[in-house]
Structure 1
Amino acid sequence: MHVTVEVVGDDTHEFDVSDATYADLLDRVGLSPHEVSVMVDGRPVPEDQPVETDSVKVLRLIRGGQR
């Protein structure tokens, strides 16, 4: 399955996956499930759920900055 992963405010990535979970997608883009929410059709999904869609949005919950 071909999946597009949009990290909101950052990059968009495209992957070919099979039997992957949303946590696997996060690993591929270098993000931890503890710092993001994975959204499908505007709704959050559990990271351990199998990927069953071709488009995913990832929202960062915490982002560092400069003082």
Structure 2
Amino acid sequence: MSKQVKQFHELISQNPSLVEKLKSASDRDNFVELTVQLGAEYGYSFTSTEVEVYINQNMLTLMRQFS
């Protein structure tokens, strides 16, 4: 799992505006793309594959946060 994705998720957890942006994703693919894009805007570097792995490993937590 990417340490960068985990660190970005921690940032998201403390930033309601990022949560709202990610909640606007229309589907999982869009959510992944948006996560990579926003991560880059905040200085993180990870791929969509790394985001997918993180999602798969943390599904329950993410569902609670973004539902």
The normalised TM-score by structure 1 is 0.34
Query: Which of the two has greater strand per residue?
Result: 1
Query: Which of the two has greater helix per residue?
Result: 2
Which is higher, the Rg of structure 1 or of structure 2? 1
The normalised TM-score by structure 2 is 0.34
